[in-house]
Amino acid sequence: MTRLWNEPAAFADEMIDGFVAANGRYVRRIPGGVARATTSPAGQVAVVVGGGSGHYPAFGGLVGPGLAHAAAMGNLFASPSTQQVYGAAKAADNGGGVFFTYGNYAGDVLNFDAAEQRLRDEGIDARTVTVTDDISSAPVAERRRRRGIAGDLTVFRAAAAAAERGDDLDGVARVAALANERTRSFGVAFTGCTLPGAEDPLFTVAEGRMAVGLGIHGEQGIDETDIPTADGLAEMLVAALLDPAEVPEGVASVSGARVVPVLNGLGSLKYEEMFVVYRRIAQLLEGAGIEIVDPHVGEYCTSFDMAGTSLTLYWLDDELAALWEHPVDTPAYRRGAVTATERVSASAIEAEATDEIPDADDSSRATAHTVRLAVTAIAETIDTHVDELGRLDAVAGDGDHGIGMQRGSHAARAAADAAADAGAGAATTLQRAADAWADRAGGTSGALWGVMLAAIARTLGDTGTPTAADVAAGVSAASRAVTDYGKAELGDKTLVDALVPFATTLAHGVDGGASLSAAWRSAAVAADRAATATADLLPRKGRARTHGEHAVGTPDPGAVSLALITAAVADVLASASEKGTPS
């Protein structure tokens, strides 16, 4: 269990602040995470890693000479927002382009891809290689869908070493892709993990039982067995990774191959226990004729307080073996001797730009008041249902949907309040709420709610009073943006299954002459009906896809939260209509 925190919603930020205070020799605080405290050569490719917090030493603990230039650090088990990733990349950029590498999770992909596009729009070249080492998350034929776990370390090291030897951006991407292709991992868990402030773990395993093929965000395993002996566990892990189908292409023969084994602790397993397991792993690998290179036993990618372990095998070739010897000096990981470099000067750290409020007229400010009330109602609704949303998400996901929605909606409310108090119009007020939601919530839902609210904001304007048709057009644009951005379709068991019926019903009502309040109410009913119907669907997108069968019979939490929000906003619009205020 987690014992020490102040405010759960502030845990990640306070953790990063403390991490920087304890490791000022290596890292400095930046908007979005941490960057090297020391300088890097001009023109060197900047390697930027990242993901949710709760996995220390990934990702911030791997920033320093010889490894990452910066890490974008999201909230607990939530991907960093686009803004956080962009901030980390800008802080790390040395003029040689930015290389992104991170675990293959939907929210991370959405936000890193958006940040990469933003960099490209500014003329900064960027590339990405996602880590896909977890053999339990998809079959061999669908390796591109696999998620990244402890194999992050091998890919990060290869990419960083290539950057430090002077490879250009394409060269770094090539090396990282090769390292990823030659990395395989498989893990087990004996207990779930408990987030700060939560009363229960994200999943449980019966006493004496073991989850097989777990995810590092608390996702349940693909199987459950009795806990074997230490030797039995070693044999299970090695057998899975030495399956002929999992031996990487290019490895001519297992016998004689060079392999770096990484036995990774997930947070609560004692090192002594892992040493007992590794004893047998080494015997099995040597028995297969494998040459063991630089074995690692320790914590490299944890899952907060989860008790469990994973085994990674990194199959070297001559190039990867040479890169593996490159020295590294970071807060949590050191290899060899790194040449000392100068610290980044204070003058080189750019101050944040002044945040000005665009002009607005009185009509738009009046509409902004309704926007403010709507965002407040959203936050209050999420507060009421946060535990239930988390429960729904834990059925086949990682259980953090409620917490993420709460963080996002609270940040949106604070941003909307600040904008409206400063005299902002409707568009600016909602846009500020959208940006804050995406930035603070992180994860897939944070990114998508930022996209939705921003699409609606663009149709409101900062002058005049928006019509019902304007709002309906904004919701339709939001629906299109989500499907374009997240790539989900009707039937995939996501919020799209509630959003599309909502947008369609709203547009139909407004086109038929209904008031915005009446049309919105009807659309909210349609969204609720559609969200309930997702219980019968099998997930085809996101983390729930891996364990989709567990989700049948339970509605999708993203669809449910959207339906709850539309109902809450319907009440605000009805009240505004009765009072004659702009809605």
Q: How confident is the model at residue 403, as a pLDDT? A: 84
pLDDT for residue 196: 86
CA proximity to 232, closest of 295, 188, 287, 280:
280
Selecting from 3.90.550.10, 3.10.20.740, 3.90.1150.10, 3.40.50.10440, what CATH number does the domain 8-335 have? Answer: 3.40.50.10440
Selected residue with higher pLDDT from 536 and 69: 69
pLDDT (tens digit per residue) in 265-286: 999 999 999 999 999 999 999 9
Percent of the chain with pLDDT over 90: 75
Residue with structure tokens 């509630």? 498
Of 55, 217, 296, 410, which residue is the catalytic one? Answer: 217
Indicate the range of 72-76, 121-125, 328-332 predicted with least confidence.
72-76
Q: Which range is least confidently modeled, 100-104, 447-451, 538-542?
A: 538-542
Do strands 258-265 and 223-226 pair parallel, antiparallel, or not at all (unpaired)? unpaired
120 close to 91: Cβ distance less than 8 angstroms: no
Average pLDDT for residues 295-303, to the nearest whole number? 97
Average pLDDT, the chain: 92
Rounded to whole angstroms, how far apart are CA atoms 233 and 263? 12
* CATH 1.25.40.340 domain extents, the chain: 362-579
> What residue spans in the chain does CATH classification 3.40.50.10440 cover?
8-335
Residue 352 pLDDT exceeds 50: no
* Tokens encoding 489: 């379709």
Two tokens, residue 214: 């777990």
For the question of whether the overall pTM of this predicted structure is more than 0.75, the answer is yes
Count of beta carbons in the 10 Å neighbourhood of residue 243: 13
Q: DSSP string of 51-63?
A: EEESSTTTTGGGB
What pLDDT, on a 0 to 100 scale, did the predictor assign at position 570?
97
For residues 28 and 37, give the distance between their C-alpha atoms in angstroms, rounded to a whole number: 5
How crowded is residue 234: how many other Cβ atoms within 10 Å of its Cβ? 24
Distance between CA atoms of residues 124 and 238, nearest Å: 42
Contact 82, 115 (CB under 8 A): yes
In the predicted structure, residue 80 carries a pLDDT above the cut 80:
yes
The pLDDT-based confidence of 38 (bands split at 50, 70, 90) is very high
Please, what is the Cα angle at 70 between 270 and 410, to 5 degrees? 85
pLDDT at 530 over 50: yes
Measure CA of the first residue to CA of the last residue in the chain; give whole Å: 46
Kindly give, in sequence order, each residue whose CB lies less than 8 Å from that of residue 571, ignoring residues fewer than 6 positions away: 377
Residue 294 has pLDDT above 90, yes or no: yes
What's the token pair of residue 556? Answer: 């999708």
Beta bridge partner(s), residue 72: 33, 50
CB count, 10 Å around CB of 253? 8
Sign (positive or negative) of CA dihedral 265, 266, 267, 269: negative
Instruction: Read off the pLDDT band of 398 (50, 70, 90).
Output: low
Length reported for the chain: 583
- Which pair of tokens denotes residue 76? 């607990």
Concerning whether 401 is annotated as a catalytic residue, the answer is no
Average pLDDT for residues 69-76, to the nearest whole number?
94
The pLDDT confidence band at residue 545, using thresholds 50, 70 and 90, is: low
Tracing tokens 């990060």 back to the chain, one arrives at 156
Using 50, 70 and 90 to split pLDDT, how confident is the model at 385? very high
- Among 201-205, 283-287, 451-455, the range with the most confident prediction by mean pLDDT is 283-287
Contact 396/554 with Cβ under 8 angstroms? yes
Ordered DSSP codes for 235-287: HHHHHHHTSGGGSPTT---STT-EEEEEEEE-BSS-HHHHHHHHHHHHHHHHH
> Minimal CA–CA distance to 432: which of 485, 372, 472?
372
| Residue 393 in this model has a pLDDT that exceeds 90 | no
Lowest mean pLDDT segment, chosen from 18-22, 200-204, 362-366:
200-204
Half-sphere exposure of 107 (CA within 13 A, CB side): 33
- Closest by CA to 556, choosing from 382, 383, 389, is 389
Q: Residue 353's pLDDT is what?
A: 40
Half-sphere exposure of 466 (CA within 13 A, CB side): 27
3-class SS shares of the chain: helix, strand, coil, % to 5: 50, 15, 35
Residue 361 has pLDDT above 90, yes or no: yes
For residue 346, the model assigns a pLDDT of 63
C-beta separation of 195 from 403 below 8 A: yes
Alpha helices in 401-555 (DSSP H): 401-421, 426-441, 443-460, 468-486, 496-511, 516-533
pLDDT band at 351, cuts 50/70/90?
very low
| Domain 362-579 -> CATH class | mainly alpha
